[in-house]
């Protein structure tokens, strides 16, 4: 008789265990498209032997030992590393392409074209140094050249400023994510101290960690108590329930508590910094090239003489951001110094020829004349963009491969869950029939008067 009651216990355990497993399958199906969700499995095992007094040992069915989130710590770490690497190159490529597209186009002459036009007008001036219409064209081309320089430099400066704003926004998001993760760490500690499982908190934390990895290339170390330590670059961003904030100040990213500089190698923020450094370098080299051209042209122009005998005048003033034609020349084109001496032959073009040569071939960056220097700077941006494009494609392929692997472990397959539901449903039905059969057996024994014999 005791064995029959043990059988009832086994059936009851089976119904409870498979019902929990069925509920987990339903939870998975409901969250099939929920970002960051990791499917769950109820762990089932055969219950221990039960040995009734004076009876034979019997099994007491199946029991649920807990709920397991289907994750792999190694694959999770690799996926976050891949997310950070791809985000870095994706952002760097975005900056390079935006900068490249703003370097001039149809209807907006770039620096090389503007320099060529100025040089061509000076060549015409060599041929007709006394022609006032030709001198007016030189003034117009020189002002157009200054406009092109200022426009390019202003674009670079404005873009550099906008990148500062982007970093500020990204850093605020990073700090917000770090604080949310630290808060979840604290909630997990409290839940585990109370003996409760926290799969929903773990799912939410994983989602936040993925986003953080994309932003700063974060690495994650899980502690035995269920909390995580998050590192970013050269420092700890989150440790248990404590977050370490960053701040962006003076073009530098700093740890708020120590003031030490944050050094990031992966993530969107690292990509912004890479692009910003390229823009800043371009602007500095452009300014050096413009100042070099200005000094070369001014040195020639100061030594020449205009039609009115004027001399000692500069041709250009300012740097890349504020380059302008000398207003004294704009007001009176006859002051353009085309002659080498005030008493030279009529129509002396020797200084105009020297001006044309200075614009064409005076070295401004090392041994490079202005046009070649600008071409090198522009090609440098294009080369950097091409390199970032190739790196982004490779990083995207690695990211997609790792994420597919992670999805195979964590992701929900509705077909698989449906099959599992049917299996658990059949197990519950079988256990219920077993209960009915045992109940009928017990009833039959009572009717036979077997009780007490």
Across the chain, mean pLDDT equals 89
Residue 239 pLDDT greater than 70, yes or no: yes
Residue ranges per structural domain of the chain:
2-70+411-447, 78-398
Residue 179 pLDDT greater than 80, yes or no: yes
Report the pLDDT averaged over residues 196-205. Answer: 88
Residue 446 pLDDT greater than 80, yes or no: no
pLDDT computed for residue 54 by the predictor: 55
Residue 442 pLDDT greater than 80, yes or no: no
Residue 1 pLDDT greater than 60, yes or no: no
Residue 388 pLDDT greater than 90, yes or no: yes
Report the pLDDT averaged over residues 224-238. Answer: 93
pLDDT-derived band at 24 (thresholds 50, 70, 90) equals confident
Residue 444 pLDDT greater than 70, yes or no: yes
Residue 180 pLDDT greater than 90, yes or no: yes
| pLDDT, greater one: 64 or 400 | 400
Report the pLDDT averaged over residues 112-138. Answer: 94
pLDDT-derived band at 107 (thresholds 50, 70, 90) equals very low
Q: Which of 171, 180, 173, 185 is nearest to 255 (CA)?
A: 171
| CB-CB contact of 139 with 330 (8 Å) | yes
pLDDT in tens, 40-51: 888 888 876 656
Residue 183 pLDDT greater than 70, yes or no: yes
pLDDT in tens, 315-344: 999 999 999 999 999 999 999 999 998 865
In this prediction the pTM is 0.83
Residue 106 pLDDT greater than 50, yes or no: no
pLDDT-derived band at 63 (thresholds 50, 70, 90) equals confident
Residue 105 pLDDT greater than 70, yes or no: no
Least confident range of 192-201, 217-226, 292-301, 302-311: 192-201
pLDDT computed for residue 66 by the predictor: 83
Least confident range of 63-72, 96-105, 152-161, 325-334: 96-105
């Amino acid at each position: 008789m005791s064995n029959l009651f043990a059988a009832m216990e086994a059936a009851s355990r089976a119904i409870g265990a498979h019902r929990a497993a069925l509920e987990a399958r339903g939870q998975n199906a409901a969250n099939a498209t929920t970002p960051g969700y990791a499917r769950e499995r109820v762990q089932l095992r055969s219950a221990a032997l039960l040995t009734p007094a004076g009876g034979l040992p019997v099994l007491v069915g199946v029991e649920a030992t807990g709920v397991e989130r289907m994750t792999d710590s190694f694959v999770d770490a690799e996926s976050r590393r891949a997310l950070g690497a791809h985000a870095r190159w994706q952002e760097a490529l975005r900056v390079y392409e935006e900068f490249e597209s703003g370097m001039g186009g149809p209807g907006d002459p770039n620096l090389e074209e503007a320099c060529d036009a100025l040089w061509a007008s000076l060549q015409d001036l060599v041929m007709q140094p006394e022609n006032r219409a030709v001198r007016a064209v030189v003034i117009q081309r020189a002002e157009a050249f200054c406009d092109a320089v200022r426009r390019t430099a202003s674009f670079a400066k404005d873009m550099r400023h906008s990148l500062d704003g982007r970093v500020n926004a990204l850093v605020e998001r990073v700090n917000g994510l770090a604080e949310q993760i630290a808060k979840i760490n604290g909630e997990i500690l409290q839940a585990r101290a109370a003996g409760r499982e926290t799969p929903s908190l773990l799912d939410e934390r994983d989602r936040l960690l993925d986003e953080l990895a994309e932003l700063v290339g974060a690495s994650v170390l899980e502690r035995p108590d269920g909390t995580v330590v998050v590192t970013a670059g050269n420092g700890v961003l989150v440790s248990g329930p404590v977050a370490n904030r960053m701040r962006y100040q003076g073009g530098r990213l700093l740890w708020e508590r120590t003031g030490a500089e944050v050094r990031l190698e992966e993530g969107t923020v690292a990509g912004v910094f890479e692009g910003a450094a390229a823009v800043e370098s371009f602007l500095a080299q452009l300014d050096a090239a413009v100042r070099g051209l200005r000094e070369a042209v001014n040195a020639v122009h100061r030594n020449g003489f205009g039609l009115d005998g004027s001399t000692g005048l500069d041709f250009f003033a300012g740097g890349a951001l504020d380059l302008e034609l000398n207003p004294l020349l704009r007001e009176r084109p006859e002051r353009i110094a085309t002659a080498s001496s005030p008493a030279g032959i009529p129509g002396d073009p020797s200084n105009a020829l020297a001006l044309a040569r200075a614009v064409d071939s005076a070295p401004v960056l090392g041994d490079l004349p202005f046009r070649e220097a600008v071409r090198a700077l522009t090609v440098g941006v294009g080369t950097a963009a091409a390199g970032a494009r190739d790196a982004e494609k490779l990083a995207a392929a690695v990211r997609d491969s790792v994420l597919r692997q992670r999805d195979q472990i964590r992701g929900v397959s509705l077909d698989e869950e449906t099959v599992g539901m049917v299996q658990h449903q059949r197990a519950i039905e079988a256990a219920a029939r077993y209960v009915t059969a045992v109940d009928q057996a017990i009833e039959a024994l009572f009717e036979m008067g077997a009780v007490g014999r």
